[in-house]
Structure 1
Amino acid sequence: MAGKAAAGFSKNLRHDLFYHIQKFSFENIDRFSSASLVTRLTTDTNNLQQAYQGMLRIAVRAPAVIIFSFVMAFIVSAKISLIFVVVLPILGIGLITIVKKARPFFHQVFQRYDVLNQVIREDVRGIRVVKSYVRQKNENQKFDNAANGIYDVFLKAQQTMALNAPLMQLIVNATMLLLCWFGAKMIVGNQLQDGQLVSMFSYTMQILMNLNMLSMIFNQLSMAEASASRVVRVLKAEPSIKSPQNGIQTVQDGTVDFDHVSFSYDHENLQLKDINLHLKAGETLGIIGKTGSGKSTLVSLLPRLYDVTSGKVALGGINVKDYDLKTLRDNVSVVLQNNVLFSGTVKENLKWGNSQATDAQIVQACKWAHADEFIQELPQGYDTPLEQNGTNVSGGQMQRLCIARALLKNPQVLILDDSTSAVDTNTDAEIRKAFREDLPQITKIIISQRISSISDADQIIVLDHGEITAQGTHQELLKSSKLYHDIYESQNYQGGMERG
C-alpha cells in the first residue's frame, strides 16, 4: 500500500509540475533553464517518491512504537527510564548536526545534476555536429567533468550522513550499559525486580531499534528536503505572463502598432529602445539587421512571448495585454528561428496549427508553403512518420513544414523569423508570391538576412543595437541607409536587381 501511495504521489506531483510549466513564459523558462526543469521532473521527483514511501512505512510506525515503549518503560520504572531523558537529546542533537552539515551538499548535488542534463541534452541534440567535427573526445571530457562533479559532492554528503551509524551504535551501547549498571544496583537495593529489568531491556530494544530505523531514512529525507525545495520553487513560481480575466476573445484585423516600446531581459540593459512602428492590415514588413540587433526580440513581443518593459504593443488597435492569451496567439502565428518538429506523422505535425483541419486545408497550406510537392514524394505522403526534431527531412523541408503549420491557424498576423534561410532563393520567391497573391489579408512580418526575401515588402526597417536606424522601401533604403546598402552590396545583387 505504501508503494502504491508513493507511486500515486509521484504521478500527481509530475502532473502538477508539468502542467504548471506549460503556463510559464519564456522568461520563467530562462530563469530555471530547461535542463533544470527536466531534473526536477525526474531525479527530484524520484527522490521525493522514495522518501514518501519510506516515511509511510517507518516514520509512522517507528514513532508509535517508540512512544508506547516509553510509556511502558516509565510504568515499569520511572527512575531508570530517566536514562532515555539524558541519552535521547544527545542523539537528537547529533542527528540534527549531521543533517545540517550534509544539507548544503545535497543542494549542490542537484545543481550539478542540472549541469549533467544540460551536457547530455546538448550532446545528443548536436551529435551530428560532434561527429562531423570529430569532437567525441572533448564531449566525453565534458561529460566526465559533469559526472565527476556529482560524484565528488555526493561522496561528501554520504560521508557526512554515514556518521549516523556510529552515532546510533554509540547511543545503543551506552544505553544498554547504563541500563545494566543502574538496573543491577536497583535489584540489589530491592528497588527493581528481575522480571521488570527484563521488561526494561525489551522496551529499550524496541525504542533503540526503531530509533535506528528512523536514522536510516535520515539520509533519504535529507536528499528529499533538497529535492522538495527545488520542486516547490517551480510550483510557487508565478508565470510572468498571464491571460487577463475576461480577456478579449476576437481580433478585429491585423493592424500592428509599436508605440515607444523598450524591452530588457534583465530589467537593466535595454535590448530594444523606443521602437515606433505601424503596420496596416495585410501589409508586409521586412526586418533586417546585424546578429544581436534585437530582431527576434522585437517580434516576440507581439504574441506576448515576452512582455514589453515600457511602451505598448497593439494588435487590431487593442493592447496585446488585453487579449485572452489563447486568442492572441491563435491570431499571431510565429515560425521561430529554431524550427521544431515532433515525433509523429507529417499530418500530425501540421495539425498542431489546427487540430480540426481537413485534408484539403492541410494540402492548401502546404501548397502556399511549397511543401506539398516534396511531401507527395515521401514514402507514405502526409502519413510519413517524422523522427524527433525532423531528422529525416532536410532543413529547408522542415522550414516549409513549419510555415504550413503556422498558416493552418489562419492567423491575422504571420511572423517568419528567418524561417526561409535553408530554402533556395527560387522557392523563397514562390512562397512570398503565394503570400502576396493568395493571402493578401494577412499581415506578414519577415525577418531575414537575405535582402531578396524582403525587397518587395511594403516597408522595411533596419535594426541596429535595438534601435530602428532606417525605415522605408527597398529603393529608399538603398539611398538612405549605409548599413542596408552595405548588406546589399555584400550579397552581390548588382546584376540581379535594379539598383537604387
Structure 2
Amino acid sequence: MKGTALKRLMGYLFSRQRGKITIVLVSNVIGSLTALAAPMVLAEAIDHIADGIHIAITEGSSFQINLQTMGLFIAALLALYLLNFAFKYLEQYLMAFIAETVCLHMRKDLSNKMGRMPLRFYDSTEKGEILSRATNDIEKIGEVLREGLGQLITSLITMIGSIVMMIYISPVFTVISVITIGVATGVTALITKRSRKNFYENQVALGRVNANIEEAFTGQLVIKAFSREKMAIKEFDQLNNTMCEASHKSQVSMFVVSPAVRLINSIGYTVIAVLGGISILQGRLSIGTVQAYIQYLDRAGEPLIECAFIWNMMQSAIASGERIFEIIDMDEEPVESEPREKIENLKGDVTFQHVRFGYSKGNPLMQDVNIRVKSGDKVAIVGPTGAGKTTLVNLLMRFYDIQGGKITIDGVDIRSLRRADLRKMFGMVLQDAWLFGGSIRENIAYGKSDATEEKIIKASKAARMDHFIRTMPEGYDTVLEEDGTNLSQGQRQLLTIARVILANPSLLILDEATSSVDTRTELEIQKAMDHLMRGRTSFIIAHRLSTIRDADLILVMNHGTIIEQGTHTELLAKKGFYENLYQSQFAYGNI
C-alpha cells in the first residue's frame, strides 16, 4: 500500500502541473549550482589572501593584496548569493501554489467520492473520522509538499554536487567521507522504515479524537441531562492519551534521525580536519582548498540530515495518503448502465414481491416480503424501536439494494430506474430535520432551486409557516444558524414540510411528530402533513398508533421484517402483535 499511495500522490503532483514542476526543477538546479559554486570562489579568495601573507613573511615585506582581484571575488560571491535567493524564492513560491492545487484536487476527488458512497458507509463510519481524513490528512500532504518536496530535491542535488566537487579536490578524502555518508544513510533508512507505521497510527488516533469531539459537541444536551460529563471526559482522555502516545512515537522516530546523523558526520569531520591539516603542512593542498573541501563535506552531510527529516515527513504524508485512498478505493453504489427505464405520468402504485434483504449475506432480515400499495394510499409503518421501519424506507429509495425479489413503482422494477430519477419521485420529512446555514428562502427552495417567490410563499402557507416567517427580523431572508438552531424543533420540521410541498413529489416518506414538540405545534405539523399527503402515496413511520387509524394499510414490523399487515380494524381483530402494541400504548396513555 505504501508504494501505491506514494505513486498515486505523485500522480496528483505531476498529472496537472508538469509545467510548474519543470520550472521548480530548473530553479532548484540553478539555485543549487550557485550554492555549490560559492565555496570554490571563496577558496580562491582565501588562497589569494594566504599567498599575500606567505610573500610578506618570506620576503619580510608588508602584507599586500590586489584589491581589484578581491573586489571581483566579492562581486562574484554576491552575484551567486543573489541568484541563489532569486531562484529559491521562485521555487518556494511555485511549490506553495502546487501544494494548494494538489490539496484542492484531492478534496474535490474525496468530496465527489463521498457523493457516490452507499448509505451503509455513512451508517458504519463516524462523522469525525471522515472529517479528519478530509481535513487533517489532506492538510498533512499539503504541508509536506510546501515545506519538504522542494527542499528534498535541493538536498539531493546539493549532496550529489558536493560529492562531485569533493572528488575533484581529493579522491582519497572523498572515499573516507563517502563511507561516513553511507553509514549515516543506513541509519536513516533503518529509522524511517519503522516510522511510517507510527505516522499511520497517529493519523488514525487523530481521527478517533475528532470523532469523539464531534459526538460530544453535538450531544452536549444529552450528556448534561444524564450527568455523564465525567464519563465523557474520561472517554476523551483515553482517546487523547492514545493519540499522545502515537504522536510521541512518530515524533521520536522523526527527531532521532538528526542527532544520529550529526554524530556520524562529526566523526567524519574530525578525521578530514586532521588529514587536511597534514596535507597543508606537506604542501599537497592549499588552505583555501581544504576549507572548500570541508564546506562541501558539510554541504554533503547537512542535506543528508535534511533528507532524513523530510523523508520522515513524507512517511507521514504517505500514511495520510493511504487513509484518503482507503475511502477513494471503497465500493461505490453500483454504476448504472444506460439507457434506463422512465415512468411517464407517475401514479404511485408500489409493490414488494417476494423481497429478501439482509445487511450481510449470512444474516437475513426480510424473507419473502409482499406488499401492494395503490396510488394515493396512506401506508403506516409501525413497530418497536429497531424493528426495521427505516430499513423498509431505505429499500424503497434504493439506499440499499434488495438481495431477492423485486420492488416496483407503477409496475417498473426500481432497479431499472436511475437512482436520481427514483429519488426525485419521493419527498421526505424526517424528525431530524436537516437545514443548512442559508436563508429560510434558500432552505425551502432546496429541492427546487428555480422556484418563484410566489411558489415559495404558497408552500410556506400550506405548511403553516408563512405567518411565523414574516414575524422574523428579515422574513424569508432570515439566515438560519447551523442546523437551524435558531428555530424550534417543530418549526424546523414545518420548514422541511414546506420544502417537500414546493418540490411536489408523487410519493412521500414521513416521520411522524413525537411528544418532543408541544401539543399546538404537533397539531400544526399534523395539519401540514395532511395537506401534504392529499392525493399522494404516503409511507408514514408511525410512533403513536392513534394517528394512523385511518391508514389504508398498516405494516407491522419486528426484528427487521413485516409480521402483520392490514387496516387498523383488521389488525385489532387478529389480536396479534399489533393489538398488543395498541393496547400497551393505550395502557400507558400514549394513544
TM > 0.5 fold call: yes
Closer, same or farther: CA 337–241 of 1 in aligned 2, 3 Å: farther
1:96 aligned residue (178, 185, 189):
189
Closer, same or farther: CA 496–448 of 1 in aligned 2, 3 Å: closer
The answer on 1:282 being equivalent to 2:376 is yes
Residue 166 of structure 1 corresponds to: 259
Shift of 1:325: 2.4
1:13 aligned residue (68, 93, 106):
106
Structure 1 unaligned residues grouped into runs of 5+: none
Partner secondary structure for residue 259 of structure 1: strand
Q: Which amino acid counterpart does residue 282 of structure 1 have in structure 2?
A: G
Q: Which amino acid counterpart does residue 527 of structure 2 have in structure 1?
A: E
CA distance in 2, matches of 1:77, 1:480: 102
Partner secondary structure for residue 447 of structure 2: coil
The answer on 1:487 being equivalent to 2:487 is no
Closer, same or farther: CA 87–495 of 1 in aligned 2, 3 Å: closer
The answer on 1:268 being equivalent to 2:362 is yes
CA distance in 2, matches of 1:229, 1:432: 47
CA distance in 2, matches of 1:268, 1:351: 43
CA contact (8 A) 2:440 2:478 kept: yes
Per-residue deviation, residues 161-180 of structure 1 (Å, max 9, x unmatched): 22112211122112223334
Partner secondary structure for residue 173 of structure 2: coil
CA contact (8 A) 1:421 1:448 kept: no
CA distance in 2, matches of 1:112, 1:231: 15
Shift of 1:183: 5.1
Q: Which amino acid counterpart does residue 144 of structure 1 have in structure 2?
A: D
Q: Which amino acid counterpart does residue 278 of structure 1 have in structure 2?
A: R
Shift of 1:376: 4.1
CA contact (8 A) 1:396 1:420 kept: no
Per-residue deviation, residues 227-280 of structure 1 (Å, max 9, x unmatched): 111112222234234444333455533222222222222333223333221222
Residue 409 of structure 1 corresponds to: 503
Residue 3 of structure 1 corresponds to: 96
Shift of 1:377: 4.1
Q: Which amino acid counterpart does residue 434 of structure 1 have in structure 2?
A: H
Closer, same or farther: CA 175–305 of 1 in aligned 2, 3 Å: same
The answer on 1:322 being equivalent to 2:416 is yes
Instruction: Determine what percentage of the aligned residue pairs are the same residue.
Output: 31
CA RMSD, Structure 1 to Structure 2 (Å):
2.8
Residue 33 of structure 2 corresponds to: none
The answer on 1:387 being equivalent to 2:481 is yes
Residue 22 of structure 1 corresponds to: 115
Residue 300 of structure 1 corresponds to: 394
Shift of 1:296: 0.2
The answer on 1:178 being equivalent to 2:232 is no
The answer on 1:359 being equivalent to 2:456 is no
Shift of 1:158: 1.4
Shift of 1:47: 0.9
CA distance in 1, matches of 2:189, 2:389: 54
Residue 434 of structure 1 corresponds to: 531
Per-residue deviation, residues 352-403 of structure 1 (Å, max 9, x unmatched): 1211122332233334434344434444433333221222222222222222
Matches of residues 42-441 of structure 1 in structure 2 within 5 Å?
A: 42-180=135-273, 196-248=289-341, 250=343, 252-418=346-512, 422=516, 424=519, 426-427=523-524, 429-435=526-532, 439-440=534-535
Closer, same or farther: CA 305–421 of 1 in aligned 2, 3 Å: farther
Closer, same or farther: CA 488–31 of 1 in aligned 2, 3 Å: closer
Aligned pair count?
Answer: 494
Q: Which amino acid counterpart does residue 13 of structure 1 have in structure 2?
A: M
Q: Which moved more, 1:129-138 or 1:105-114?
A: 129-138
CA distance in 1, matches of 2:589, 2:293: 103
CA distance in 2, matches of 1:496, 1:75: 94
Per-residue deviation, residues 117-169 of structure 1 (Å, max 9, x unmatched): 12211222122333444443433333333322211221122123221122111
Higher helix share: 2
CA distance in 1, matches of 2:354, 2:270: 81
Q: Which amino acid counterpart does residue 172 of structure 1 have in structure 2?
A: N
Q: Which amino acid counterpart does residue 581 of structure 2 have in structure 1?
A: I
CA distance in 1, matches of 2:548, 2:297: 85
The TM-score with structure 1 as length reference comes to: 0.90
Q: Which amino acid counterpart does residue 96 of structure 2 have in structure 1?
A: G
CA distance in 1, matches of 2:341, 2:176: 72
The TM-score with structure 2 as length reference comes to: 0.77
CA distance in 1, matches of 2:238, 2:259: 33
Partner secondary structure for residue 446 of structure 2: coil
Shift of 1:435: 4.0
Closer, same or farther: CA 361–482 of 1 in aligned 2, 3 Å: same
CA contact (8 A) 1:258 1:277 kept: yes
Per-residue deviation, residues 431-468 of structure 1 (Å, max 9, x unmatched): 454245xx31x211111111123221111110111221
